[in-house]
Structure 1
Amino acid sequence: MKPRNETAVSECLLLGLTDDLALRSLIFSLFLSMYLVTILGNLLITLAVSSDPYLHTTMYFFLCSLSFNDVFLSTCIIPKMLVNIQTQDQSITYTGCLSQVCFVILFTVLENSLLAVMSYDRYVAICHPLRYAVFRKPCLCVLMELVSLSTSTVDSLLHMLLLLQLSFCTDLEIPHFFCELAQVIKLACSEIVINNILIYISVDIFGGVPLSGIIFSYSHIVSSVLRMPSSQGKTAVASVMYTMVPQMLNPFIYSLRSRAMKEALRKLIGRTASQL
């Protein structure tokens, strides 16, 4: 069979979901609930932070960025999956599949960068409090945000450019519930060595480097906490909990543990109720 160029491929099939109708209904309810919790929880965080001047700090600035990122990342995957389950149609357009690959890479890399920045923020605040005034400058926060977004965008575009060079011999039947880069590349009938090399490099840089930074930051935070008097250590240990978590749990682990965030949420709900 003569290899078909990507322009000849009109749609892909997502085969990662079960054919059992009863199980499909359960999966639909589960993922719909998770998606709603993700959206509502993260939007509530953003509203609470923006409405309370006390929370206009570096940590909550990056927390809002992380919340938006989690919403976008979930929206790239879950709505299309829910539609496919509801309509019993496993197809996705080729353009839609490529877009999903691009945005999933972008928001995944951006999330890793934000988590690393947040861990460093806690490290400086706890281990080097005298230097924290420099780190808290708005211009520096915005710069770190832009650098994280720029590197994420460049990485996703590089993967997309190489993916667009591939040819496919058969229909794209992806054994997953969304278009994952590694799964799409496996279906190509052209050479994919460069694509795989870029994946390995990206994982090492945008996965390994942030993870190393997070481990470094929190290991020093734990060390500092253990050297504190017990009463101070108990108060500071909550900061150690700011680590890599699933998107749905970020509103709870990052925010609802914070007394300041709880108070902001109470004020927000109180103002909303009084206006009704």
Structure 2
Amino acid sequence: MRFIVRCNVSARIRLVFVLLAFCMLGSQVVRAQSCGDDITRAAGLCVQKRGLDAALDCRQAAVRDCACNTATNRCSGAGGSCSAQLEAEAKINVDWILADRGARGTFESHKQLGESPFDAAVSAQAHNPPVQKLLRQCRGWVEAYLGRGGPCTLSDTPPDAAACRCITVLPTGQFDQTGAPSYKVSSSCTGAYNISVQFIDASASGAPPSTGQPQLVCPSKSFVVRAPQTFLIPSISGVRLQSANGGHTCVCRDKLCS
């Protein structure tokens, strides 16, 4: 004779187990893909601070603060739309994240763990729940702001030949495992541009020119670009500068671009 035992676990106990599992993940951050993911993550962080006895309260607060947008299946934040005043407050707090050494480190580490820039910004404000709520309420604005590079915004002024003089492209002296060299692209321009580097293969391989992905470069900032691995003798033929209202290609010869 076989005995079948059925366990009826209450919703409250199931919730505790779900949130306990979240807490046991530790630093293994999972990028949120839906309202449910956002809610579970927010509730789990709350339980980590307040304990399992507060699991139900944490879940209810997370659902309330989420204000799920059914069109995108992502949390839009409680409290209505993001006004101009709230945008200004959100900007102050996002700028602080990017300027403060500790907060910036937290922000970057969460991005490396797979979080979106927005989720990483919320994580960097884990010590300040009201600011997290503000960022969620202004989610669309924050995502667009971070997408433009944060406090550095794309210049409205179209670049011209004179702008080429404030861009330098120099070899780093480093190579990847295939031997492809890398270059450091630096800007001393007064405005920010999307910058892409154009490569040609100076050998007789017949390979077509290649243009790297554009990078938003703020004044006094730089980034590193690698030459195509398939190029036998990579050479920089030009640098493309793009503003919000136009672009200009700087022609490069003998390491000088104009």
The reply to whether TM is greater than 0.5 is: no
TM-score if structure 1 supplies the norm length? 0.22
TM-score relative to the length of structure 2: 0.23
Q: Higher helix proportion, which one?
A: 1
Point out the structure with max Rg over C-alpha. 2
Structure with more contact order per residue of length (Cα contacts < 8 Å, sep ≥ 6): 1
